[in-house]
Amino acid sequence: MTTVDPDTAAPPAPGAPPASEVPSAPGAPAGSPRGATPQARPRVAGDPVKALLHRHRELCERAVDPLEIAAGLEAHGITDRTAARFRHRDVFSLAEELYARSPRGEAPAPTPAPVPAGPAAHRRFGCALLPGALAAGAAAAGQAWAGPAAVAVTVAALVWPGRAAGSRFPWLAHLLAAAVAGWAAHRYGTALAVGLALAVGPGHLLAAGFAAGARARLDASRALDDFADRARPLLFAAVGGFTAAAAGAAVVAGAPLTAAVPLALLLFLTRLLLRHGSRRGPVAAALALALIPVPAAAPAAAAALLVQAVLALSRASAHARP
């Protein structure tokens, strides 16, 4: 006779069959009562994102873009490791799918990307023209400090990252960029430093245009791969436009093209990566490579940093709203 603990089970109703004769639930061990809760974990559903979508339905339906969903998921403690359990490589990829599968309903339309226009943008562009004007004026006046001044203002304007989200000021990258430009000016003369300074203005315009265009493409994309396919041509257009502008600035200043253009491109890519919150390690490594006293060092460093820029700036996380 089996002893039943009165605190854990109620006596059987009159006429009810014994527990041992009650058929087990499908999948339950033989002899277990019908109402017993199985201890084994349930199988993972075929669509693991569906439960997450239901749990965060309000966030997903009122989000104006995938990055807003990503920020909400991160606020709830969902990390890239958690996203891997939902068959995604990171939180942003998971947010892209949640956004694409959420009914928009009465949600507000996505806000347009900020356009680099207005008084503040005009002031910033005016400041970007100052390095070239100062360097060219000092060189034309025959001032001995023209070269060092051109190096200083060029590095400050092209490398200064602004207020990149979650990033402190990258002192190492800034100092390495100053060392690269100073070493190049020492080797090739003041004309090269002036050429770099003259390229600051076009670099500012192209960087601002790339940032606004990438943000607009992110708002119009529904998947990370889709955004990457849209962002890469924009990046290549910005890099190509700056290369042409740097070559023109070098010709105006009388600097050798083979030295001035790779250095200007290296500084431009450094500015882009730091401004968009990229990791500083690859940037510092490329700048350190450019310090090697061989002619191929600067082109190799610029090529390496271009690869890093293609990888980093085609990610949605690089263009999150501040």
Q: Name the domain boundary from 37, 71, 101.
A: 101
pLDDT of residue 57: 84
Long-range contacts of 215-219 (CB under 8 A, 24+ apart): 215/113, 215/114, 215/319, 215/321, 216/112, 216/113, 218/65, 218/66, 218/67, 218/316, 218/319, 219/65, 219/110, 219/111, 219/112, 219/113
Q: 246 and 144, same structural domain?
A: yes
Is 111 part of a structural domain of the chain?
no
**Whether residues 220 and 185 fall in one domain:** yes
Q: What's the helix, strand, coil split of the chain in %, to 5? A: 65, 0, 35
* Shared domain check, 133 and 97: no
Note the pLDDT tens digit of each residue in 52-67: 888 888 888 888 777 7
Instruction: Give me the domain span that covers residue 84.
Output: 48-101
Q: Give yes or no for a contact between 269 and 305, defined as CB atoms under 8 angstroms apart.
A: yes
Residue 125 contacts residue 204 (beta carbons within 8 Å): yes
- Both 186 and 52 in a single domain? no
Q: Let me know if residue 176 belongs to a domain.
A: yes
Contacts of 162 (CB under 8 A, 6+ apart): 275
Q: What are phi and psi of 202, to 5 degrees?
A: -60, -35
Could you say which residues of the chain have pLDDT below 50?
Answer: 1-45, 106-115, 163-167
pLDDT given for residue 298 in this prediction: 95
Domain count, the chain: 2
pLDDT at 13: 45
Distance (Å, whole) CA 196 – CA 71: 38
Q: Let me know whether 127 and 83 are in one domain.
A: no
Task: Tell me the two tokens of residue 88.
Answer: 């995604």
The span from the CA of 164 to the CA of 185, in Å, is 29
The answer to the question of residue 6 being in a domain is no
- 85 and 144: one domain? no
Two tokens at 283? 């940037």
- What does the pLDDT read at residue 23? 42
Residues 200 and 296 in one domain: yes
| Residues 231 and 95 grouped into a single domain | no
For the chain, the residue count is 322
Specify the pLDDT at position 134: 77
Q: Is 314 within a domain?
A: yes
CA angle in degrees (0–180, nearest 5) for 68-74-80? 115
The letter for the amino acid at 246 is: A
Residue 43 is assigned to a structural domain of this protein: no
Please indicate, yes or no, whether residues 80 and 126 belong to a single structural domain of this protein.
no
Asked if 150 and 242 count as a contact pair (C-beta separation under 8 A), the reply is no
Q: What's residue 280's pLDDT?
A: 83
13 domain-assigned: no
Residue 125: per-residue pLDDT: 67
| Domain shared by 89 and 222, yes or no | no
What is the b/e burial string over 51-76, where b = at least 16 CB atoms within 10 angstroms of the residue's CB? ebbeebeebbbbbbbbbbbbbbbeee
Domain stops at, among 40, 75, 101: 101
The answer to the question of residue 197 being in a domain is yes
Q: Which residues contact 246 (CB under 8 A, 6 or more apart)?
A: 195, 196, 199, 202, 203, 260, 261, 264, 265, 268
Whether 87 and 155 map to the same domain: the answer is: no
Same-domain pairing of 58 and 181: no
Kindly state whether residue 40 falls inside one of the protein's structural domains. no
H or E element at residue 94: helix 91-101
